[in-house]
Amino acid sequence: MDVQELQKLVRQGEGRHLEFKLKSNHPEKIIREVVAFANTEGGILLIGVSDDKEVKGLKFPEEDEYLLTKAIHQYCFPTINYTLEHIAVDENYEREVLAFHIPKSISAPHYVLRSEDVQARKVYVRVEDRSIQASKEMREVLKQTKKDKNFCFSYGEKEQLLMAYLASHAQITLDQFADLAQISRKIASRTLVLLVLANVLKIMPEEKQDYFMMNPTIDILAS
């Protein structure tokens, strides 16, 4: 990528596949973006670009590279594959932007590890221009998806209630489904995850509570 291609990319603004950071002063926070990209659809992390799309570059890019690559290897599990590109942004090659290219991973979910405590592991996913912590349901979808198998489900009373609701509503949350079907959150969670894995539903991650909607490629009539 040359500087013209970089500037064209930056003009698009931050989004699902692109994140800017001016410096790597807090690498332990920046790795959330790396994990989120790997767990979602991949993306590019640019170091040396401000939030207002100004390509400032780094005076000492080797320092930022060292801090970030160390953090990625130390705090991301399992290991995340990426490629790193140095892009000169001035004629004298005195300032550079670091471009971390993170592909969608086949080993998801990836965790951010900040301690030896397994419960402290956090999973992040990308939603628009944000990296948010994944819900229990989203984590389970990521775990099961990589098994590459066909998932089947029983079309019982609770599934019929769900399909009927989604026939007239755009989306539903876990709590709404549990209330609708008069079932526990645990059973509601398991049912929604299975329907996502069977490609009947799509899960839409959100910071407060995920919502679920019909997969537009599936045509199931409520009865």
Average pLDDT (81-96) is: 91
- CA nearest to 123, candidates 82, 76, 79, 80: 76
pLDDT higher for 201 or 218? 201
Angstrom distance (rounded) from CA 202 to CA 141: 10
Q: Identify residue 98 by its one-letter amino acid code.
A: L
Identify the pLDDT of residue 211. Answer: 96
Residue limits of CATH 1.10.10.10 in the chain: 143-214
Model confidence at 33: pLDDT above 80: yes
At 157-197, the pLDDT tens digits run 999 999 999 999 999 999 999 999 999 999 999 999 999 99
Angstrom distance (rounded) from CA 179 to CA 156: 16
Bond into 109 cis (ω within 30): yes
At 125-134, the pLDDT tens digits run 999 999 999 9
- 3-state SS, one letter per residue, for the chain: CCHHHHHHHHHCCCECCEEEECCCCCHHHHHHHHHHHHHCCCEEEEECECCCCCECCECCHHHHHHHHHHHHHHHEECCCCCEEEEEECCCCCCCEEEEEEECCCCCCCCEECCCCCHHHCEEEEEECCEEEECCHHHHHHHHHHCCCCCCCCCCCHHHHHHHHHHHHCCCEEHHHHHHHHCCCHHHHHHHHHHHHHCCCEEEECCCCCCEEEECCCCCCCCC
In the block, tokens 């705090």 appear at 75
Give the model's confidence band at 221: pLDDT under 50 very low, under 70 low, under 90 confident, else very high: very low
Which residues are 123's β-sheet partners?
111
Q: Identify residue 179 by its one-letter amino acid code.
A: D
Bond into 216 cis (ω within 30): no
Angstrom distance (rounded) from CA 130 to CA 124: 10
The mean pLDDT value of the chain amounts to 91
Spelled out in words, what is the top-level CATH class assigned to the domain 3-133? alpha beta
Residue 112, token pair as written in the block: 């951010």
Model confidence at 216: pLDDT above 90: no
Model confidence at 223: pLDDT above 50: no
The domain over range 143-214 is classified in CATH as 1.10.10.10? yes
Residue limits of CATH 3.30.950.30 in the chain: 3-133
Angstrom distance (rounded) from CA 143 to CA 121: 14
